[in-house]
Structure 1
């Protein structure tokens, strides 16, 4: 995972207005870019009539960041009114981020529980989803499309997890589930599934899914 830290200095009496502007421009564009995981703005009064503003964003990898910056990730991305506020040239730095050990478990459980939106920010741009006995999807857009279709298909359906077991170790996780789906007409389908997850540099790189329908005992 990559952290992008942009730093600017503005007049202290303008920092609130500029922070709003950064939210409406850069931060909003971060959020629209596939592969962005988070975006935050920090401000600090420097005590000399100026204030510091930091825009911190995290990304699943360099390819994701290039969707925002273009080919040159070290290039400043500026907006029309930036010069109106900034009192000195801005600075930009990038950092490698080490994910905490619980990330693999949290993301894997979210995905297997159909809480896909919680997992989307962690998808690598070239993520591969292999469904044994089914199709293979390549790339975050293709994976998201299947997830959104799954959610649409489940509208009105009640999902009860009869079993939900997770094993996670470093950059790998496995989730074993047994779920009962009750559709709006009362029809019941029981599915046993096992999802295997592999992470690379803090991003979800590979999903391998096994599933089978079971009798409703």
Structure 2
């Protein structure tokens, strides 16, 4: 399994808006993509912003191509997401998952 990881920052309201966008638009698309195995949106509140980390899980790099296209290192950040974020990474990282637990 492969974890695809992306980071962004937002205001508290922007983080809420991003979460709504993710669950309403991104997650349905991910679920329709063969080889998608799960997703997490994490947040960390600091004094002046909210840090977001999105982790999607995939069975292979080929499966990721079904979502992201051929340039696997480029983040997929839709205009609706860009509009509510203070900053975001334009690239992602991929990590082999060595241990996983849960349902």
**TM-score, normalised by the number of residues in structure 2:** 0.85
Matched with 1:15 is 15
Matched with 2:45 is 45
The alignment covers a number of residue pairs equal to: 102
2: distance between equivalents of 1:58 and 1:95?
A: 10
* CA positional deviation for 1:66: 0.7
1: distance between equivalents of 2:47 and 2:22?
A: 22
Q: Which has the higher contact order (CA 8 A, sep 6+)?
A: 2
2: distance between equivalents of 1:23 and 1:55?
A: 12
Matched with 1:88 is 87
Matched with 1:137 is none
Question: Which has the greater radius of gyration?
Answer: 1
Matched with 1:30 is 30
1: distance between equivalents of 2:46 and 2:28?
A: 26
* CA positional deviation for 1:3: 0.1
Matched with 1:65 is 64
2: distance between equivalents of 1:89 and 1:37?
A: 24
Structure 1 portions without partners, runs of 5+: 104-117, 119-217
Structure 2 portions without partners, runs of 5+: none
* CA positional deviation for 1:42: 1.4
Assess if the C-alpha contact under 8 Å between 1:19 and 1:53 holds in 2.
no
1:35-58: CA deviation from partner (whole Å, max 9, x where unpaired): 01111211221221x101122111
1:186-211: CA deviation from partner (whole Å, max 9, x where unpaired): xxxxxxxxxxxxxxxxxxxxxxxxxx
Q: In proportion to residue count, which structure has more strand?
A: 1
Provide the alpha-carbon RMSD of the alignment: 2.1
Structure-to-structure mapping, 1:73-112, within 5 angstroms: 73-90=72-89, 92-100=92-100
1: distance between equivalents of 2:61 and 2:96?
A: 10
| Structure 1 outlier segments of 4+, above 6 Å | none
1: distance between equivalents of 2:61 and 2:15?
A: 30
**TM-score, normalised by the number of residues in structure 1:** 0.43
